[in-house]
Amino acid sequence: ILTIDRMQIQFLGESIHGVREFTRYRHSWLEQHAGDGTVVVFEADRVGLLHSVQNHEDAVAMLQNFPRVQRTREMAGLLGCLLDRGIPVYGADVVTRNSRAIFSGHLADLRRQQVEDEERIYSSPDCFTLRDAYMADAFADLVARFPEHRFVGLFHNLHIKRQGSLEIETLRLQSVAQNLCEKHGLSVHATALLARQGSAFHNNLESFNFLIDDVEAIENLEHNVQGPLLIPDLERVGEKVAYHHAFERETLPVRDQYDACIIFPEVTPPHLIPEAL
């Protein structure tokens, strides 16, 4: 059973942002396992989410800090659950998504610095690795601020891989998880959420259908379980690999990248909230 260890950062990833079932699973898992002493960190606008929290915004308003593909009823439900239970939420991303917020005082200074950092990072040919280093630093700062808390990070699978820097060139990334382990000396447990087939949204909100029938893919692993299958011991799946966005094939075995996997037999797109887009 997947639970929160106080000595570890628990990552719940997702192979595709635009999937309803992944967010619902995370929501259900947090309802069961997150409580007093838990902090949840999102792949979301760092200073924008600080602004939203300090201004006591509701869950739908907070969606401005998330990628458009995550501005959904399902994500609003997850956020609402955390807010209702008083669980602190933070963003770690350098990307400035919240264009509706008006920053003042200390937050205005933080926003100016974030804008400078974003411009510096995205003007570099190594921007994706620099972005993950930024998110890892932001995450580590939170761990230092709340040393007695348990941390859960909700990021894309790309950002939670243990050895992303050893992947093929198109997927190579010194991930958030790898930075937290190697640069900050923190313990990480990375669980990838994967899907075999279904429909989803690309990040640009275009819909697509997919079926992963690769015999070497863990998504195609046969099982008799109803609903999602948790594989807590990836050594037993040998050389099986996983897919990002249903079409990017990893080259390192899942056992080298993640600590556990959850495979969904079929998935569907989330419900976008038009007024949040």
Tell me how crowded residue 277 is: count the other CB atoms within 10 A of its CB: 12
156-159-164 Cα angle (round to 5): 130
pLDDT per position in the chain (277 positions), as tens?
Answer: 566 666 689 999 999 999 999 999 999 999 999 988 999 999 999 999 999 999 999 999 999 999 999 999 999 999 999 999 999 999 999 999 999 999 999 999 999 999 999 999 999 999 999 999 999 999 999 999 999 999 999 999 999 999 999 998 888 899 999 999 999 999 999 999 999 999 999 999 999 999 999 999 999 997 776 789 999 999 999 999 999 999 999 999 999 999 999 999 999 999 999 999 9
pTM for this prediction: 0.95
Residue in 273, 206, 277 with CA at minimum distance from that of residue 16: 206
